[in-house]
Amino acid sequence: MLKYIVGRLAVAIPTFLAVLLITFTLTTLSPFDPVAMMMQQYEGTLDAMQQKEVVQRLRNQYGLDNSFVVQFTKYVERITHGDLGISINGQRNVLRAIVKTFPISLQLGLAGALLTTLVGVPLGALAALKQNSWIDYTIVGSTLVFRSLPVFVLAPLLLVLFVLILGIMKVPRGWDGLFNPKTILPILILMLGPLPIIVRQTRSAVLDVFSQDYVRTAKMKGLHIWLIIFRHILRNALIPVVTTLGFVAEGLIIGTIFLDSIFAIPGFGALVEASFRNFDYPLIMGVTMVTSLMIILTNLLVDLVYPLLDPRIKLE
């Protein structure tokens, strides 16, 4: 397994560099000039000569007056030393900003993924067990409703329901830790979005395994149907579900962009939104790097879980 992990990580390095190169190229080719955006705050306070001097100093400070190859090479060199640069517009250390915000979104995303699994897998198994019945149609249909609603629509609707109509909570704003009641609604919203994906994937996988010979043998032995599902069916059915969960976990963390804005959570999503809104080169590169690393490591983790579900799968 160690050889497999090392091999996957070796392949991940050029993939990671390719992502950085593409992002760096797109930001360079963009018509937006971050230095010009910074100079808007000095309009009316500096004359033309002073503005030109400030612009030149800023371009030299951030290396924007160098060629593309030199800029990218120096950026990769800084990354190897743990230096992600300084935010152009916010004048913040990019690495410190990421270290401060990413754990918040990571906690919310993992909590949403865990809740999605705990709710979605049993519902999918129940839908498969009651195939083509009203229970099956209700489970699949109701979860699809939540899938059709984007976060920026679902969040206000749930706020109106829980705060104004039911009156069971105040408007949750800010971040006071994962186990604070403020996180209930954000985690619920993160769970409802990918829930139908897990439900449908589990339902399809369970129905596929139902036709296997060993399941029919277990039925003839008189085992209870739910015992058959949890002992014999889910272990094999969860392989495609785990694959789906890998993508779900990635999407949940990125999905906090809207939640951070709606609930005033100082998370990674707010940092991503700020980087693109202000067209901040160093921040854009930093959040892109973290996102790509997260996707690479999540896919590796999913691969490592496969042998635990099915010992016949070998990592080579």
Give residue 234's Cα distance to chain centre. Answer: 25
pLDDT at 312 over 70: no
pLDDT at 290 over 70: yes
Using CA atoms of 64, 70, 73, 75 in order, give the dihedral in degrees to the nearest 10: -10
pLDDT at 311 over 70: no
Contacts of range 290-297, beta carbons closer than 8 Å, 24 or more positions apart = 290/98, 290/102, 291/254, 292/15, 292/16, 292/19, 292/20, 293/16, 294/250, 294/253, 295/250, 296/12, 296/15, 296/16
Residue-wise pLDDT tens digits, 127-152: 888 888 889 899 988 888 887 777 77
* Plot region of 167 (φ>0 → left; ψ -120 to 50 → alpha; else → beta): left
Cα(269)–Cα(254) distance, rounded to whole angstroms?
6
pTM recorded for the entire structure: 0.80
Closest CA to 13 of 75, 76, 70, 71: 76
278 touches 262 (CB < 8 A): no
| Three-state SS at 166 | coil
| Three-state SS at 315 | coil
What is the arithmetic mean of pLDDT over 234-244? 73
Question: Could you give all domains of the chain from N- to C-terminal order, each with its CATH number?
Answer: 103-267 (1.10.3720.10)
Residue-wise pLDDT tens digits, 178-199: 888 888 888 888 888 888 888 8
Q: Which residues lie below 8 Å from residue 79, measured CB to CB, with a gap of 6+?
A: 20, 289
pLDDT at 46 over 80: no
- 118-127, 212-221, 271-280: which range is least confident on average? 212-221
Cα(112)–Cα(117) distance, rounded to whole angstroms?
9
Q: Which residues lie below 8 Å from residue 110, measured CB to CB, with a gap of 6+?
A: 249, 252
DSSP letter, residue 2:
H
Task: Please list the alpha-helical segments (H only) found in the chain.
Answer: 2-29, 34-39, 48-61, 68-80, 94-129, 134-148, 151-159, 184-192, 195-210, 213-220, 225-228, 234-254, 256-262, 268-277, 281-309
| Three-state SS at 138 | helix
Q: Residue 282: pLDDT band by 50, 70, 90 thresholds?
A: confident
Residue-wise pLDDT tens digits, 54-106: 777 777 777 777 778 888 888 888 888 888 887 776 667 888 888 998 888 88
